[in-house]
Amino acid sequence: MGGDFGSDVTIPASLQCLKVNSELTLILVGDEDILKKSLTQALLDYPDRLKIQHASQRVEMDESPSKALKNKKDSSMRVAINLVRDGKADACVSAGNTGALMATARFVLKRIPGIDQVAIISTLPSIYGHTHVLDLGANVNCSAKNLYQFALMGIEVVKAVNNIAAPTVGLLNIGEEDVKGNEQVKEAAKLLKASSLNYIGYVEGNALNAGSKKVDLIVTDGFTGNIALKSIEGAAKMIGTSLKAAFSKTLFSQLAGLITYPVLKSFKQSIDPRLHNGASFLGLRGLVIKSHGGADALAFETAIHLAEIEVEKKVTKKIIEKFEAIAAEKESM
Amino acid sequence: MGGDFGSDVTIPASLQCLKVNSELTLILVGDEDILKKSLTQALLDYPDRLKIQHASQRVEMDESPSKALKNKKDSSMRVAINLVRDGKADACVSAGNTGALMATARFVLKRIPGIDQVAIISTLPSIYGHTHVLDLGANVNCSAKNLYQFALMGIEVVKAVNNIAAPTVGLLNIGEEDVKGNEQVKEAAKLLKASSLNYIGYVEGNALNAGSKKVDLIVTDGFTGNIALKSIEGAAKMIGTSLKAAFSKTLFSQLAGLITYPVLKSFKQSIDPRLHNGASFLGLRGLVIKSHGGADALAFETAIHLAEIEVEKKVTKKIIEKFEAIAAEKESM
């Protein structure tokens, strides 16, 4: 029921995913009447793979997380996360209120033992394909240990999504030299250097989209990560606006725009943010994926597809096992 | 002598500025032999307005700031800043090593009494024209008081460049609600609210280039500011690369590129980073402006032009007077 467009987006996206992946079962959580009305045919088409779970409430997009947690115990978001907790679903995908989703997920699923902070990871388009980045806003202040744990969790997502064994990890900083950065970053660099991760050192902001070399995973605190993400969104919007303005300036430029339409379309597709939709909450005992609130059906499909990959590759289980191993190693020392 | 191209860029830029502004006098600081050879005709053309000041050394682009400060006491950078200290020049413009320029400027010019940290301010292109941002990397850790002082200094540059009386000021944060952000940002918000500045509240990263409303000045710490700046550079590079790729994919797209060449050129001009070149060091008892190291002549001209404006509008003097007034007010209380 969440996001700016509710079931108008989530239903078509869900049906498309069911069509493409015959292994997939979806439980749509929300107002039963609304859902049943839209899904009459689909429930016949997918008698075993499409289910409806009623939830009498919905969290508004501007509702405060604490109020949602307290007053909306039967919200679609809460019921969906309960399904994950109870083992009835492998993941929850939501386009709803980010703060409320995070607060509810933390409250219902609890943190994995050994992990101090839950982080948000997603991909950004890059000249090399894409770059995974975390944290994107869950944690305003991060210690070196937090950053290190983010890297440990993040590479499990990168391994799953990119299908590679040893992803490269970079730390976001204001220069590549050792002396650069704040204390947290410098300490985190030491921890990463001493680890078994494929750590390549500090990277600057441009590495997110177009660095001099490919980096699979970039680690940063949630304050910087969120501002970098939004700055990139703003830059893309400005450039898009300028391009549009240039192509509508004169009659000639309008004609040129018509002629180059297929080229511009191919350009737009190459950096389409909808193909990078879906941010995973990492560090919880269950998988929750946040879709952009303004996602359309294609974008929401991408988020569901991300959940499919992470479930198939058992990302949460691998993170739990990794931190269990760390704890066991500490005890034996 | 600084920057990636040395006097090949700084000399043509200087001559163009002398041509355009008949009030301008330039002292080119560097190797006298090299400069004289390139300037034979120009010295005849501008007998009173073009001068050469010899400096026997130059700071390399990758030299450590502390080493430059210790070993390069006759570098072009150091001699140029000495001219500002001695009142022989109103400003120093350099495309050289940023760290060395900052260290030298701090050492030679000293901070303005009452200002705790020197900050770097520059503009980014935006859908509204441009946005001033500081700090862009001088200060990794910033207290609320630092951020507040940045705002006080920054608006003097904005007033001068934009020619407006009461620029709007926003604080960079990960959300617009009061509860968002780290302690420094929250405290700085209180100071700004209580001040006489035209403070509009928190803004997110997208406000740098394309927010929902125009903000004249965005204040942040140097860690976040630098990463946002570099992230935007990376995003622009990625989009440029994708656009180029789309226009070279097929024979049709290559032809389309030829036809739309004037449109694409007009688009490129509208977001030309060379027209935003020049970052001012704020908080020193003298004006120093840093040009991008990779600047071409047009970009370096922009940096000189920025110095002309700040000198004409007496930005440094206004900042000194403002902090004197603050000190006087404190004493009288």
* Environment class of B277 (CB within 10 Å of its CB; exposed 0-12, middle 13-18, buried 19+): buried
Q: How far is CA A10 from CA A44, A90, B156, B267, in A?
A: 18, 18, 50, 37
Q: CB of B254 within 8 Å of any CB in chain A?
A: no
Cα–Cα distance, B233 to A207 (Å, whole number): 10
Residue A289, phi-psi category: left (phi > 0), alpha (psi -120 to 50), beta (remainder): beta
- Over residues A65-84, the pLDDT tens digits come to 999 999 999 999 999 999 99
Contact between chains at A235 and B210 (C-beta distance less than 8 A): yes
Whether the pLDDT of residue B84 is over 80: the answer is yes
How confident is residue A26, by pLDDT bands cut at 50, 70 and 90? very high
**Pairwise CA distance, residues B223 & A142, whole Å:** 14
List, for residues B232-281, the tens digit of each pLDDT value: 999 999 999 988 888 888 888 888 888 888 888 888 888 888 889 999 99
CA distances, B42 to each of A133, B35, B39, B300 (Å)? 52, 11, 5, 18
The answer to whether residue B20 neighbours chain A at the CB level (below 8 Å) is: no
Which residue in B75, B88, B107, B103 sits closest to B27, CA to CA? B88
The answer to whether residue A255 scores a pLDDT higher than 90 is: no
Structure confidence at residue B116 as a pLDDT band (50, 70, 90):
very high
Per-domain boundaries in chain B: 1-115+283-333, 116-274
Query: What is the average pLDDT across B135-164?
Result: 96
Residue B260, amino acid: T
A122-273 folds as Isopropylmalate Dehydrogenase (3.40.718)
Which residues in chain B are closer than 8 Å to A229, comparing Cβ atoms? 205
A272-314 per-position pLDDT tens digit:
888 899 999 999 999 999 999 999 999 999 999 999 999 999 9
- pLDDT tier at B46 (50, 70, 90 boundaries)? very high
pTM: 0.94
Distance CA B325, CA B333 (A): 12
Q: What 3-state DSSP class applies to B231?
A: helix
Tokens of B231: 């992230």
- Judged against a pLDDT cut of 80, whether residue A333 lies above it is answered with no
Chain A residue closest in CA terms to B173: A227
Provide, rounded to the nearest whole percent, the portion of chain B with pLDDT above 70: 100
Report the distance separating Cα A271 and Cα A127, nearest Å.
9
Packing angle, helices B76-85 and B98-109, rounded to 10: 30
User: What average pLDDT does this structure show over B165-175?
Assistant: 96
Residue the block writes with tokens 């494929």: A198
Are A1-115+283-333 and A122-273 the same fold in CATH? yes
A169 pLDDT band (50/70/90 cuts)?
A: very high
Which residues of chain B have a CB within 8 Å of the CB of A221? none
Q: B198-203 and B26-30: which strand pairing?
A: unpaired
Nearest to A238 among B210, B220, B229 (CB): B210
CB contact A128 to B (< 8 Å): no
Q: What are B303-324's pLDDT values in tens digits?
A: 999 999 999 999 999 999 999 9
Distance CA B236, CA A237 (A): 10
How sure is the predictor about A269, in pLDDT bands with cuts at 50, 70 and 90? confident
Q: Tell me the CATH architecture of domain B116-274.
A: 3-Layer(aba) Sandwich (3.40)
Higher pLDDT, A150 or A258: A150
Query: What's the CATH superfamily of A1-115+283-333?
Result: Isopropylmalate Dehydrogenase (3.40.718.10)
Could you give the ipTM of this predicted complex?
0.92
B3-31 pLDDT tens trace: 899 999 999 999 999 999 999 999 999 99
Residue with tokens 């269950």: A286
Q: Output the CA–CA distances (angstroms, integers) from residue B277 to A1, A28, B95, B153, in the order listed.
A: 47, 52, 10, 19
Cα separation of B212 and B206, whole Å? 9
**pLDDT at position A267, please?**
85
